[in-house]
Amino acid sequence: MTEETPLDLAHAAMEAAPADDAARLRFYERLADSELFLMLTEEAAGGQISPELFETPEGAFVLVFDREERLGQFAGKAVPYAALSGRVIAQMLAGQGVGLGLNLEVAPSAILIPAGAVGWLHQTLGHAPEEVEAAVEMFTAPKGLPEALLTALDAKLATAGGLAAAAYLAGVRYAGGGQGHLLGFVGAKEAAQPSLAKAASEALTFSGIEAGAMDVAFFAAEDPVAASLARVGLRFDLPQPPEPDTYQPEIPGSNPDKPPRLV
Give pLDDT tens digits for 3-39.
899 999 999 999 999 888 888 988 998 999 899 999 9
Tell me the β-bridge partners of 236. Answer: 167
Which of 167, 180, 185 lies closest to 211 in space, CA to CA? 180
Q: Is 111 left (phi over 0), alpha (psi -120 to 50) or beta?
A: beta
Compute the distance between CA of residue 113 and CA of residue 60 in angstroms, rounded to an integer: 10
* pLDDT at site 233: 93
Cα torsion at 22, 26, 29, 34 (round to 10°)?
-170
Model confidence at 262: pLDDT above 50: no
Average pLDDT value over all residues in the chain: 85
Q: Which helix (H) or strand (E) holds 70?
A: helix 68-75
Query: Which of 51-55, 67-71, 158-162, 248-252 is the least confident region?
Result: 248-252
Pairing of strands 59-65, 98-102: parallel
Read off the pTM: 0.69
* Residue scoring higher pLDDT (216 or 263): 216
Compute the distance between CA of residue 114 and CA of residue 207 in angstroms, rounded to an integer: 22
3-state helix, strand, coil in the chain (%, to 5): 35, 25, 40
Q: What are phi and psi of 216, to 5 degrees?
A: -130, 140
Cα torsion at 44, 47, 52, 56 (round to 10°)?
170
Residue 72 Cα to chain centre, angstroms: 26
* Residue scoring higher pLDDT (68 or 204): 68
Domains with residue ranges and CATH for the chain: 6-125 (3.40.1350), 136-237 (3.30.429)
Q: What are phi and psi of 223, to 5 degrees?
A: -70, 130
Binned at pLDDT 50, 70 and 90, residue 251 comes out as low
| Residue 25 near residue 206 (C-beta atoms within 8 A) | yes
User: Hey, what amino acid is at 71?
Assistant: L
Q: What are phi and psi of 113, to 5 degrees?
A: -105, 110
Query: Which of 81-90, 115-124, 133-142, 167-176 is the least confident region?
Result: 133-142
